[in-house]
């Protein structure tokens, strides 16, 4: 699922148009380099002139390869695809559907027998759009879904569903779910912090929906361009330690009970995905325009998006280079799929995933670095940020207290719901402090 600001998306698309024309540069028609029969119509990966059919097949092959080598989807899996109506998730749904063997009993070469569903998270309240607008966005997404994959069930949920209706404390607060969500988001003043919180909520919600409906995989449409943007943004948030966790093909952070998150289109640039979308006639559903006031303030995420898009239009190797750099960072044990399929076996060896993750942030689920843990325990800081650390401790104690009163911390999604309930309840602006990548006072203390 792709979250992007309108400006960033527009910039990404502008560079698409410019370069997709270049197959017919100087008025000379080129022949597709793959089939050598038809006229090339599209420039894949900025270098290969291909016809539409070969282009489609080539993207499919990349995804197939990722799925097979890393064992992302196995026979008998139930895969929930996160769709947003954007380019990446639309293509992801199509390509996964193409490699699906509908006959669960008889094996077919190159196809995998698995079940599929799709989930859409409506974020009208978070974007500040009117109920009418959010209803229309949801209708557009379901229309797009009907057109591209009518046989796949689509589950629509709302972001405010993150507040569990069955939680008895919800009733005590005398507030509906929507009110709680707005309350929570308003408590976070920092624009970047709010965007990241929305993303964390969305991810947590999708994981929960997948678990409830019995899916064991959650497929997200994170593409190469998105990975590059996330790399730059994470670096600027001080999340260098956690970065490799979120850019791998496989993410088994949720442990044995929760669904594993897979990103099969990670190696494809946004431009190629957008061009395939265009070819398939699947127009993207752009997120509703945020209100004027919110749009004026930039966040680290939108800045990183603009930075990557600007460089990419001048230097086409930007995105691949950033992705290559980021992938050289060491991933975490739970980024290793437990079992592999077919030819992938020799690659991954017999190293099953060890689902014993280190400490994860209770809000964004990012792994915490040793310095962050030390700062949280209040041992390491010796200087001017002391106040921040104390505040941090207070928050942490309250969080633990809140978590202890509810269900045992066995299910992580559950406990973070408790935390969110708590914070929305007290209107504490502690999300900034509680998440190491968006908390304000402690960061300077960490390094000094």
Structure tokens at 41: 């119509």
Tell me which stretch binds other proteins (CB under 8 A): 199-207, 210-218, 315-323, 407-415: 315-323
Token pair belonging to 126: 């978070």
Rounded to whole angstroms, the Cα distance separating 253 from 10 reads 33
From candidates 61, 135, 324, 345, binder to other proteins by CB under 8 A: 324
Q: Which of 321, 339, 347, 407 binds other proteins (CB under 8 A)?
A: 321
- In whole angstroms, give the CA distance from residue 341 to residue 233: 34
- By CB under 8 A, tell whether 140 contacts other proteins: no
Three-class secondary structure of residue 176 per DSSP: coil
Question: How many C-beta atoms surround the C-beta of residue 29 within 10 A?
Answer: 10
Q: Which stretch binds other proteins (CB under 8 A): 18-26, 44-52, 172-180, 186-194?
A: 186-194
Beta strands, E only, 148-223: 154-158, 217-219
Query: Which one among 142, 175, 307, 393 touches other proteins, defined by CB under 8 A?
Result: 307
Choose, by CB under 8 A, the member of 232, 285, 424, 434 that binds other proteins. 232
Using the rule CB under 8 A, is 134 a contact of other proteins? no
Decide if residue 269 touches other proteins (CB under 8 A).
no
406-445 positions binding other proteins, by CB under 8 A: 437, 440, 443-444
| Alpha carbon distance 435, 203 (integer Å) | 15
CB of residue 84 to other proteins, shortest distance in Å: 25
The H or E element that residue 36 is part of is: none
Among 92, 322, 420, 434, binds other proteins (CB under 8 A): 322
Site size toward other proteins, by CB under 8 A: 43
Q: Which of 146, 325, 405, 426 binds other proteins (CB under 8 A)?
A: 325
For the chain, give me the number of helices (H) and strands (E)?
Answer: 19, 8
Beta carbons of 78 and 113 less than 8 angstroms apart: no
Nearer to other proteins, 347 or 444 (CB): 444
Q: Quote the CA–CA distance of 335 and 70 in Å, as a whole number.
A: 10
Q: Would you say 369 or 416 has its CB closer to other proteins?
A: 369
Task: Check residue 303 for interaction with other proteins (CB under 8 A).
Answer: yes
Sole window of 3-11, 24-32, 124-132, 304-312 interacting with other proteins (rule: CB under 8 A): 304-312
How far apart (Å, rounded) are the C-alpha atoms in residues 121 and 137? Answer: 11
* Contact present, 392 and 439 (Cβ < 8 Å): yes
Q: How many of the other CB atoms lie within 10 Å of CB of 151?
A: 8
Which residues here bind other proteins, judged by CB under 8 A? Answer: 190-192, 231-232, 234-241, 243-244, 297-300, 303, 307, 310-311, 318, 321-322, 324-326, 328-330, 369, 371, 383-384, 437, 440, 443-444, 446-448
């Amino acid at each position: 699922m792709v979250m992007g600001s309108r400006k960033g998306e527009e910039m990404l698309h502008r560079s698409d148009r410019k370069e997709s024309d270049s197959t017919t540069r100087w008025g000379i028609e080129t022949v597709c380099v793959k089939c050598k029969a038809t006229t090339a119509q599209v420039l894949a990966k900025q270098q290969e002139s291909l016809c539409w059919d070969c282009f489609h097949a080539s993207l499919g092959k990349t995804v197939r390869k990722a799925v097979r080598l890393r064992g992302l989807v196995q026979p008998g899996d139930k895969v929930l695809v996160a769709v947003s109506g954007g380019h990446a998730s639309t293509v992801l749904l199509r390509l996964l559907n193409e490699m699906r063997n509908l006959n669960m009993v008889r094996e077919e070469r190159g196809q995998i027998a698995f079940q599929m569903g799709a989930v859409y998270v409506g974020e009208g309240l978070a974007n500040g759009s009117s109920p009418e607008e959010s209803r229309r966005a949801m209708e557009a997404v379901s229309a797009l879904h009907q057109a591209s994959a009518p046989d796949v069930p689509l589950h629509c949920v709302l972001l405010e569903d993150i507040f569990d209706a069955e939680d008895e404390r919800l009733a005590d607060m005398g507030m509906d779910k929507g009110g709680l969500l707005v309350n929570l988001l308003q408590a976070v003043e920092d624009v970047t912090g709010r965007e990241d919180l929305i993303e964390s909520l969305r991810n947590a919600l999708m994981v929960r929906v997948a678990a409830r409906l019995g899916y064991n995989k959650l497929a997200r449409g994170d593409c190469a361009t998105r990975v590059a943007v996330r790399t730059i943004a994470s670096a600027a948030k001080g999340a260098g330690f956690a970065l490799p966790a979120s850019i791998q093909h496989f993410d088994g952070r949720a442990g044995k009970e929760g669904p594993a998150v897979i990103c099969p289109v990670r190696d494809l640039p946004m431009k190629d995905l957008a061009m395939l979308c265009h070819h398939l006639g699947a127009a993207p559903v752009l997120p509703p325009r945020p209100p004027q006031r919110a749009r004026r303030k930039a966040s680290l995420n939108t800045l990183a998006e603009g930075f990557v898009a600007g460089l990419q239009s001048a230097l086409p190797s930007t995105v691949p280079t950033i992705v290559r750099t980021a992938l050289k960072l060491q991933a975490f044990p739970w980024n290793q799929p437990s079992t592999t399929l077919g030819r992938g076996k020799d690659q991954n060896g017999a190293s099953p995933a060890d689902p014993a993750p280190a400490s994860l942030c209770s809000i964004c689920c990012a792994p915490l670095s040793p310095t962050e843990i030390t700062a949280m325990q209040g041992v390491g800081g010796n200087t001017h940020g002391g106040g921040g650390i104390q505040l941090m401790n207070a928050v942490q104690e309250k969080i633990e207290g809140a978590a202890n009163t509810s269900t045992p911390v066995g299910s992580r999604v559950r406990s973070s719901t408790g935390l969110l309930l708590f914070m929305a309840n007290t209107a504490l602006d502690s999300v900034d402090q509680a998440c190491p990548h968006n908390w304000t006072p402690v960061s300077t203390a960490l390094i000094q």
